[in-house]
Structure 1
Amino acid sequence: MTDKNIIWHKVLDDKKELPEGRVKTVTAAHKGICLTHYKGKFSALDNRCPHQGGPLGEGSIENGLLRCPWHGWDFDPCTGHPPGGYDDGIDTFPIKEENDAIFVGLEPEKPHETTVSDIMVETMINWDVTKVFGMVGHSNLGFADAMRRQEEKGNLNFYGIRHEGAAAFAASAYGKLTGKPAACFSIAGPGATNLYTGLWDAKVDRAPILAITGQVKTQVVGTGNFQEVDLVQGFNTVAEFNQRIQRDSRHAELMSLAIKHAILKRDVSHLTLPDEIQELKASSRAKAKTSKNRITPLTIAPPKEAVDEAVKLIKKAKRPVIIMGHGARNHKKEVVKFAERLNAAVLTTFKGKGLISDDHPLGGGVLGRSGTPIASWFMNECDLLIVFGASFSNHTGITPKKPIIQVDFDPLALSKFHQVEVAVWGEISRTLEIFQEEIKGETSAINPRNEIAARWKIWKEEKTKRLSETSDKGISSIAIFEAMNKVTPENAVMCVDVGNNAYSFGRYFEPKNQDFLMSGYLGSIGFALPAAIGAWAAVGNSRPVIAVAGDGGVCQYLAEITTLVNYNMPVKLIIINNNELGKISKEQRAGEFEVWKTALSNPNFAEFAESCGAWGKRVEHQEDLEQAMKELYDQSKPSVLEIIADVNLI
């Protein structure tokens, strides 16, 4: 290279930083340099050993030779030549000293050439997948670099988490809240397998999600290479769409198909990219794809015969009850409007909690094990159940002894566990339009509003009695959630874990206009904190994001508090600490087993939060609870409120 082509890069502010006889890795522009100091001379060599790519700057000078730290090959520390006349030497670069600083001269970097990863990331963004949660590592660097370029343009947000399982849960929560896919991202091998639980959470709760994993180089697939796992085979059971990207793949089309499957199937799509494919230069003809005219409208009308049967039952029902599940989330206003015209009480599943406010005159609360006696009473007294977007899990306990009309977008969900009287396949809002047109106000339903109010009065009197139960061991769950009822913002997004904290939350917290996210069918412990990361990515600072977790659940991903701090996510985390896996202890007693291995040794969670850079406070007395919760919600930074609770007062 000529002097005119050289650009000088300062790599040491003071040459004393590198003593005689030592080597060091430095970076000039994007180039890794092995800087050596030998016999009073500074030299700059390519940092990559030509054999295995070992970082020579991490090696040492032994007997006058630079030794590769990976396999021990020797090179002259000034010229880069190997001893013995071999031709596998190392490139060197010019050096200059100015005022004790060391500079390395390089030719100008060549302009970036579009890669396969660039095309795929741009396609992803065109399909509105702009939130990615994951961890950058050695087998996904090319794809990560393509995302970096798009993030610098403001087209994408990447959130680096501390565990890939948290990335999958965050993306799952994002999908549950928005109905749109986010991506989770990992390296090959263990990084990819760590995604698995969160992907199953998304799959069974019908949340769209895109998983992107790195992979070892194609030439060593199947040889037992370091961190090699057959990811296509490994993801077969969880992924609806599951492909390995190859050199001759239609790269933009595969990304489009992956996202289309995730959206339409409300399921998991997985793409894995071998290391060498990620930096492959794209063909000059390769273009990113868009979603234009790639997805049909989903406003599917139900078959006429199903409508006729359903309308006949609805018209003659005197005590109809509506049940909303998570699948009705995007149609809650239309369902409530229908209930008001029909004079029907509205119950929800636990996953559907909050789809109708508890203070709505037709709201009967949550049905099932995490629910209220109001909901179960109305179900048992009804003469018709109209079920929207619910899956009839054992946890919810929708009785098969009553006539049932079930409406769902997925025909396989209809009559899945037992036969129902009328199975209606259609998009919920469109189905409701047709129901209302056909019913024309001709119903026999009795106004249930006074009965609902009376039942709420009975339940609130019972809650008042339970609220008086106190303990020296900690605060009762009902006191915790009663305080939350008073001060929690009405527009919050609330992420709930599993265990006794979740049961008490379902039973005692009275929703108004909040949204609720939980690990429903999978019931995975540890969901709440990473889910809050996904929820914040969806709503930003436009709505408060609150996570409620027990001490057992939060410890699964406790390090993600540092993720909240790193990205300044003002999530409010409430930890109910009773030093026990309380639900498991209860199940052991119910099964007539000994209570065994459920006691926990916990840190001071408030102090741990503060050590991470978050706000933290611990509450041990009930009289301090409401004020502490107000302080929590007033914080403008990531915040943790630890509440010492009595495991027996749930």
Structure 2
Amino acid sequence: MENTSKLQWFKVLDQQSTLPEGRVMTVTADTTQICLTNYGGQINALDNRCPHQGGPLGEGSIEDGLLRCPWHGWDFNPCGGNSDGFEDGLKTYPIKIEGEAVYVGMPMPETPPLTLSDIMVETMSEWGINTVFGMVGHSNLGLAEALRKLEVKGKLKYIGIRHEGAASFAASAYAKLTGKPAACFAIAGPGSTNMFTGMWDAKVDRAPLLALTGQVATQVVGTGNFQEVDLVRAFQTVAAFNHRVEQGSKHSELMGLAIKHALLNREVSHLTFPDQVQVIPAELTEISGPEGRMPNLSIAPPEEEMQRAISLLSQSKNPVIIVGHGARFHMEAITKLAEGIQCPILTTFKGKGLISDFHPLGCGVLGRSGTPVASYFMNAADLLLVIGASFSNHTGITSKIPTIQVDFDPLAISKFHKIDVGLYGEISRTMQLFLKSASLLQHNKKDQREEIASRWKIWRTEKLRRLREDKGNGLSSVSVFDCLTKLAPEDAVMCVDVGNNAYSFGRYFEAKSHSFLMSGYLGSIGFALPAALGAWAAVGDTRPVIAVAGDGGICQYLAEFTTSVKYHMDLKVIILNNMELGKISKEQLSGGWQKWSTDLVNPNFAAFAESCGGKGFKVDEISQLHETMKRFLAHEGSAILEIMTDARLL
């Protein structure tokens, strides 16, 4: 007989009457699921797992005096757990009744051994990854337990999302904002393949990301098992580091290498964990971090190329600096150089906000989502100094003007056309080398600040003219972003989606100290709301987070608003609702086709926000806009502002 003095007792029922005669139910004692039966006036506690395939016996029934498994009909004695003489009977647990309450006795727990998953997530933490977006499921439970224990220690922020695609987008946005990787986490099969798009977004925008996936048990690989997908093969095009964890792997080293590849190559790393491997006890518990494993990346361009660049820049009269997303962590040095030579600074769309539109040298965004201020100064320049930009078609940096390009990625230099000087080096270090020659660079330069102010005045006058346009079909985009320019907190993180809303945002919203996140090269619709989750995870309550999306994009991941509410995120989501995929309609018409299949049926987004436990606001008339947006931005917590807009007033 079991020594009851060495048991822990857990109350599993407040009232015996909850379990009538002849019935069974599942209860939980600590972390163990128990099949509780009431037969012949006796309450019994049995192992809840059928020894055949693990069927949940507490969901079964008592038939003809036998407890029957709901999956395959195996029978057991509901009182003692035996199965008619077979050796695969059920474990039983002591029962104690106190008043009407029922208690189950469990052995005193032993300290569980460290698993391979424990070692790997502790290593992940040592390498600085402390944020994971994911969904727990049947093929990643061992790894999930390791993440849970890390969260209990206060070393991990875990955000459970509603769709795995949102997890990878959130991790991508986190990296774009911070330069540091977060992890996305999913089950085998469809859970992992759902992350594919967000992983590609990170890859093409050079954002370091770690993907952790569950996998079916190794012994059933290749048999067409439920949710079996060869994830290493599936992700070989998107993940630069892509491995399956094995029992004999060097587990801490493997995790360290995955993160090192993500950091140094600004790429996606992927590790997949077969189900049975996740819980194997760890033989070696040594955990390594990045100390002594990461090189100093502050490299300088070759001296000869640097001198050629200084010579070109010193000879120019009207140089222009164009900065892209790759320059986002180096703007202090870039701005100091620009101020020294009175040089206008333009940005790519992905680089929006890297310099304030109210800075005397700031000229806004260049290209299709840009302003005539920026395009004017590019075309008037006699030299372009392009820093951390990719020369995409969207930006349209001309190849007809002498160009110096600075980038930390050697493959990005002269990627699309020949340039005059390519400087491969760390950007801040390269700027310091330019600044050392400041007296030479300042020679013969034209002060362009007055012309910049004049061009901004012309553009703002044009925006006021557009602001007065009204065709009676909703608000114009310029009115929305004019109001947002006036009311948005100056340091907000702005997450923008794909579509006409993004073009108008880039063109009309005037940046101050904002940061902007978008799906750049991939251009994936639906990015804004998951990106806002990632941004909030990075900045918490230290900065406001605002997502701007069209009605087409927001519906891709609309359920993630419940994630925002669940984790008490102070997110503000602005939805431009024109009941149409407006950008696609525009492309159909401009291409000579009929407008087709772009009309939308939308929910009441403001009411949806309320149903999720957030706050909803709606604007139908321009007279409501300023005051409603003011109240929306002042609300503490997750909120949606739905604005009815005209798809033709861009």
Q: TM-score, normalised by structure 1?
A: 0.99
Aligned counterpart, 2:3: 2
Structure 1 residue 208 displacement after superposition: 0.7
Asked if 1:386 corresponds to 2:395, the answer is: no
Moved over 6 A (4+): none
Mapped to 2, the partners of 1:512 and 1:137 lie a distance apart of 43
Mapped to 2, the partners of 1:79 and 1:596 lie a distance apart of 68
1:235-634 to 2 correspondences below 5 Å:
235-283=235-283, 285-442=284-441, 443-634=443-634
Structure 1 residue 244 displacement after superposition: 0.4
Letter in 2 for 1:6: L
Aligned counterpart, 1:110: 110
1:94-109 to 2 correspondences below 5 Å:
94-109=94-109
Letter in 1 for 2:36: L
Mapped to 1, the partners of 2:220 and 2:359 lie a distance apart of 62
Question: What residue ranges of structure 1 are gaps of 5+ in the alignment?
Answer: none
CA contact (8 A) 1:321 1:385 kept: yes
3-state DSSP of counterpart to 2:336: helix
Task: Summarize deviations over 1:527-550 as a string: whole Å, max 9, x none.
Answer: 000100000010000110000011
Letter in 1 for 2:371: T
CA contact (8 A) 1:319 1:382 kept: yes
Task: Summarize deviations over 1:354-383 as a string: whole Å, max 9, x none.
Answer: 001101111111000000011111111111
Structure 1 residue 121 displacement after superposition: 1.0
Mapped to 1, the partners of 2:98 and 2:431 lie a distance apart of 78
Mapped to 1, the partners of 2:369 and 2:222 lie a distance apart of 48
Mapped to 2, the partners of 1:379 and 1:244 lie a distance apart of 49
Structure 1 residue 96 displacement after superposition: 2.1
Mapped to 2, the partners of 1:62 and 1:578 lie a distance apart of 59
1:38-53 to 2 correspondences below 5 Å:
38-53=39-54
Letter in 1 for 2:277: I
Structure 1 residue 439 displacement after superposition: 4.9
Mapped to 2, the partners of 1:228 and 1:604 lie a distance apart of 39
Aligned counterpart, 2:29: 28
Task: Summarize deviations over 1:200-237 as a string: whole Å, max 9, x none.
Answer: 00110111110000111111111111111000001100
CA contact (8 A) 2:216 2:227 kept: yes
Mapped to 1, the partners of 2:23 and 2:472 lie a distance apart of 63
3-state DSSP of counterpart to 1:512: coil
Structure 1 residue 445 displacement after superposition: 2.0
1:204-219 to 2 correspondences below 5 Å:
204-219=204-219
Mapped to 2, the partners of 1:591 and 1:338 lie a distance apart of 44
Asked if 1:61 corresponds to 2:62, the answer is: yes
Task: Summarize deviations over 1:365-419 as a string: whole Å, max 9, x none.
Answer: 1000000011111111111111000001111111111111111001011111111
CA contact (8 A) 1:315 1:439 kept: no
3-state DSSP of counterpart to 1:236: coil
Bigger CA drift: 503-512 or 426-435? 426-435
Letter in 2 for 1:157: K
Structure 1 residue 565 displacement after superposition: 0.5
Mapped to 2, the partners of 1:251 and 1:72 lie a distance apart of 41
Letter in 2 for 1:276: Q
Letter in 1 for 2:557: Y
3-state DSSP of counterpart to 1:569: coil
CA contact (8 A) 2:340 2:438 kept: no
Structure 1 residue 437 displacement after superposition: 1.9
Letter in 2 for 1:498: V
Structure 1 residue 471 displacement after superposition: 2.8
Aligned counterpart, 1:78: 79
Task: Summarize deviations over 1:482-512 as a string: whole Å, max 9, x none.
Answer: 0011111001011000100000000000000
CA contact (8 A) 1:341 1:441 kept: no
- State, as a whole percentage, how many aligned pairs show the same letter: 62
Question: What residue ranges of structure 2 are gaps of 5+ in the alignment?
Answer: none
1:111-130 to 2 correspondences below 5 Å:
111-130=111-130
CA contact (8 A) 1:186 1:213 kept: yes
CA contact (8 A) 2:8 2:106 kept: yes
Aligned counterpart, 1:230: 230
Mapped to 2, the partners of 1:403 and 1:645 lie a distance apart of 42
Letter in 1 for 2:264: L
CA contact (8 A) 2:235 2:242 kept: yes
3-state DSSP of counterpart to 2:556: helix
Letter in 2 for 1:561: F
Q: TM-score, normalised by structure 2?
A: 0.99
CA contact (8 A) 2:165 2:197 kept: yes
Task: Summarize deviations over 1:174-198 as a string: whole Å, max 9, x none.
Answer: 0000000000000111110011000
Structure 1 residue 105 displacement after superposition: 1.3
Task: Summarize deviations over 1:93-141 as a string: whole Å, max 9, x none.
Answer: 1112221211111111111211111111111111110000000111111
Mapped to 1, the partners of 2:244 and 2:328 lie a distance apart of 34
Aligned counterpart, 2:14: 13
3-state DSSP of counterpart to 1:43: strand
Question: How large is the RMSD of aligned CA atoms in angstroms?
Answer: 0.9
Mapped to 2, the partners of 1:60 and 1:166 lie a distance apart of 40
